Amino acid sequence: MKRDKKRDDTTVLDMNLTLVANAERKLADHRAAAGAVAKALANGTAGLTDLFKDDGKAQKDYEAIAEGYLRDAYNIDGSQLERETQALVKQAVQELRSHPEHFANH
């Protein structure tokens, strides 16, 4: 399957902006939201549950953006969709953890 890097990167950006915007609304110190999210992602998306105290809703929503995009853009499903979703989530996590300042105050 040939991937469209530009579209994939746009989706990663959307995933991270959405996640940080959610954190800015829910966390007491909204100015530090991007850093708090980056820190929560240190061991993957499971850390979002502890940060948001939402029984996994933020984690599921974050992963759902990736899954929906991949299903629609590449018409994949099943185990391939699961693998590709996890790969895109991993890419998004790495991007946010590497550059949290890019997502602050948007």
| Mean pLDDT across the chain | 94
Amino acid 28: pLDDT: 87
Do the beta carbons of residue 9 and residue 45 sit within 8 Å?
no
Is the residue at 45 inside a domain?
A: yes
Is the residue at 10 inside a domain?
A: yes
- Whether pLDDT at 106 is above 60: no
Q: Cα(86)–Cα(25) distance, rounded to whole angstroms? A: 26
Residue 9's domain comprises 5-101
Which residue has tokens 């969709």?
Answer: 81
As for how many domains the chain has, the answer is: 1
The region of weakest confidence among 30-34, 53-57, 90-94 is 30-34
Is the residue at 106 inside a domain?
A: no
Q: What is the rounded end-to-end Cα distance, in angstroms, of the chain?
A: 33
Is the residue at 89 inside a domain?
A: yes
Amino acid 68: pLDDT: 98
Is the residue at 44 inside a domain?
A: yes
Q: Cα(90)–Cα(103) distance, rounded to whole angstroms? A: 17
Tell me the pLDDT tens digit for each residue of 16-48: 999 999 999 999 888 899 999 999 999 899 999
Is the residue at 64 inside a domain?
A: yes
Is the residue at 25 inside a domain?
A: yes
For Cα atoms 20, 18, 70, give the angle at the middle one, nearest 5 degrees. Answer: 135
